[in-house]
Amino acid sequence: MHGPTGSNGPTGLTGPTGPTGLPKAELHLHIEGTLEPELAFALAARNGVTLPYADTAALREAYRFSDLQSFLDLYYGLMAVLRTAEDFTELTDAYLGRAAAQGVRHAEIFFDPQAHTARGVPVGTVIEGLSASLERSEERYGISTRLIMCFLRDESAESALATLEAAKPHLDRITGVGLDSAEVGHPPAKFREVYEAAAALGLRRVAHAGEEGPAAYIREALDVLGVERIDHGLRCMEDPELVERLVRERVPLTLCPLSNVRLRAIDVLADHPLRAMMAAGLLVTVNSDDPAYFGGYVGDNFDGVRDALGLTPEQLRELARNSFEASFLDDDEPRRARYLSEVEAYEFGAE
Ligand SMILES: [Zn+2]
């Protein structure tokens, strides 16, 4: 029996015993979206960048978004503080530390190279910086990792192809490619060529679809881009035939409940379709998206849906199981089996 002082973590350290401590994989996490105001100001000072906010409180005040675009404007603006490989290492270390405290055992991390190359930071600097942290993640934080390079869908297809080309010397550190940023008006098919090239290089494929864009974008991502996982995918619920297909083909959907509220896809967490999606038999996972901006890390998302939707410990365990099943750990099945047995062994404490 684990009370508040029970030990549950892989290291046997005392940790949280609710959904936060539940072992889980995080599959939808933009590393740039983990930039907390304190680190942003510290990096700004170090790099001689002036931020248009008086202090961290003023910056937090700006985190009241009306939609995806209003968030993206601030998100890209704040990236100006990320200049050196060390900056990216520090950013990633900070995320991994927070993730470990919230039960994360495996993380598949997105990054947006074009948001940095556009500011004169070479893709090699970004990947070197991220990798320096990821290489010691297991030892320091007990978290295995994969890196997924995302293309900005509001940039051109040519720019995406050039980005893939520039990343070629670093492909040993990259597991897959993704597609993010402003969705509406930028259908998946725009990136057919770059996804074909990525597949030919042996890269795994995922894409954001059906967050603000229509359910048709989800079909297109599957059929035209050949993706294995859909990021968000919320709007599949408007298309029963598509739901049937996603269930039949076991296509994972990486949901981000707190992000959906902050970006006004839904009004309140209690309106989230997660429960209905689970009941429909969809392979859904819970993730944090851009946790510094959306009010919480992945454990906070688990806590949030448990409270708002009344999820049982068994339903939470199903979400954790799904996260490992949906991961790219099929290249390391013994590890996946180990994580899954940690999920089964986890004891929810009284809270
Ligand atoms: Zn996202």
Residues 270-283 pLDDT 10s: 999 999 999 999 99
- DSSP track, 298-344: HHHHHHHHHHHHT--HHHHHHHHHHHHHTSSGGG-HHHHHHHHHHHH
Q: Ligand 1 centre from 289 Cα, in Å?
A: 5
CA torsion angle 275 107 261 283 (round to 10): -20
Q: Ligand 1 centre from 46 Cα, in Å?
A: 28
pLDDT of 82 above 90: yes
What's the mean pLDDT when you consider all of the chain?
Answer: 93
> Is 211 tagged catalytic?
yes
Q: Ligand 1 centre from 155 Cα, in Å?
A: 16
Q: Which of 117, 92, 116 is nearest to 104 (CA)?
A: 92
- Residue 11's pLDDT is 44
pLDDT of 27 above 80: yes
Residues 3-13 pLDDT 10s: 333 334 444 44
DSSP lists the bridge partners of residue 42 as none
Write down the catalytic residue from 32, 90, 211, 342.
Answer: 211
Q: Ligand 1 centre from 83 Cα, in Å?
A: 22
Radius of gyration in angstroms for the set of CA atoms belonging to the chain, rounded to a whole number: 19
- DSSP track, 62-125: T---SSHHHHHHHHHHHGGG--SHHHHHHHHHHHHHHHHHTTEEEEEEEE-HHHHHTTT--HHH
Q: How far is CA 24 from the centre of its chain?
A: 13
pTM of the model: 0.94
Q: Ligand 1 centre from 241 Cα, in Å?
A: 25
Give the position of tokens 């009370």: 3
